[in-house]
Amino acid sequence: MSKYSIYSRELYLQPTWPRIEACYSKTWRNFAMQPHAHQRAEVMYVLKGGCRVFYQDGEEERELRMGAGDFVFIDGGTAHRLYAGDKQTGYLLNVEMSFEPSPGVPFVLSALRSACEDFKAFLCQRRPVVCGRDERGDLFKAFNFLLECHLRQMSDPMERCRTDAAMLSFLMQLSGALASSRQGVGGMVHIRRAQDYIQSHYDRPLRLAQIADKVGVHPSYLEKLFKRVLDCTPTEYMTRIRVSRAAFLLNNTDRPVIDLALECGFTSRQHFARCFTRLMGISPAAYRAKTTVPGAREIFLFEEADSESI
């Protein structure tokens, strides 16, 4: 294990605390980073958009597809690279940290390991790359505060204590989010990625195998995740998205129903009418004719603006 690793035994035999080497927000677009490794541990957090992170696992290069709210911890000495294509911009928070002796500092890694079960469980994994999803947004808040404190410290060294406290909160929220991902909620990462993909491609033919391939899991596993968490299959979820978009267009345009049906990914007007009536409790024509639809089940799940927000 590298001495620059957060898992290194030496870090817990003496007072040691992370030192921020870099902490920033950045927009990546049409960028392909060259493979590299450095002595610093690194955490990337996707604020909006998406990117792909590749890392070396033995002799094999593995890939992580990351969307808004996803984060990854990369241990020191781990070869990795980032890719952000020209079709999707990635807005990221990033912190790089080294570990150094910290005599006199009120926070030490060994004390955090003893006091925080989530951090202890994180260390027990001893994995060079660990990813998760910030479902509640707590890690984002801690990350944002850490960035704010680091910027203050750059102009006023007396702010070091505040930065150390912010780092404590950040490490606790990081390990807590990783614990949530391990405890069955980890499937939410795959579900959210599938949701994002469906919401971006609902207007074209989609098969379960195609969605699962984009997410990086087996189709049957993805279907089980959807049924367990959302009580529907990916195909049923896609139909809801299509019907939701169609309902929006019916309310806000006077375009022919068949045009709307095809635009929303339905293969025919009849297929659209059946799906719409089953989910909304009223036919498309009747829905458009009424300003208020008594008893209709509003299922507006289409997230054109918010699907990438925290």
Could you tell me which of 93, 49, 99 has the C-alpha nearest to residue 75? 99
pLDDT band at 3 (very low <50, low <70, confident <90, very high): low
Phi, psi of 218 (to 5 degrees): -75, 145
Q: Which helix (H) or strand (E) holds 82?
A: strand 80-84
CB 275 within 8 A of CB 236: no
Instruction: Report pLDDT digits (tens) over 229-268.
Output: 777 899 999 999 899 889 888 888 889 999 999 999 998 9
Give CA–CA dist 291/271, Å, rounded. 24
For residues 60 and 78, what is the distance between their CA atoms, to the nearest angstrom? 13
pLDDT band at 309 (very low <50, low <70, confident <90, very high): very low
Helix and strand counts by DSSP (H, E) for the chain: 11, 8
> Could you report the per-residue pLDDT of 95-152, keeping only the tens digit for each?
999 998 887 778 899 999 999 989 998 998 888 999 988 877 899 999 999 999 999 9
Q: Find tokens 């491609």 and name the residue.
A: 201
Mean per-residue pLDDT of the chain: 85
Q: Is 306 in a helix, a strand, or coil?
A: coil
How much of the chain exceeds pLDDT 70, in percent? 89
Res. 307 pLDDT band, cuts 50 70 90: very low
Distance of alpha carbon 40 from alpha carbon 96, whole angstroms: 6
Task: Average the pLDDT over 171-183 and give the result.
Answer: 83
What digits encode the pLDDT tens for the residues 222-239? 898 888 777 789 999 999
Alpha-carbon gap, residue 238 to 258, rounded angstroms: 19
* DSSP tag of 271: H
Average pLDDT over residues 281-300: 66
Asked whether residue 174 carries a pLDDT value surpassing 90, the answer given is yes
pLDDT confidence of 295, banded at 50, 70, 90?
A: very low
Model confidence at 167, in pLDDT bands (50, 70, 90)?
very high
Structure confidence at residue 42 as a pLDDT band (50, 70, 90)? very high
- The per-residue pLDDT for range 47-97, each reduced to its tens digit, is 988 888 999 888 888 888 888 889 999 999 999 999 987 677 889 999 999
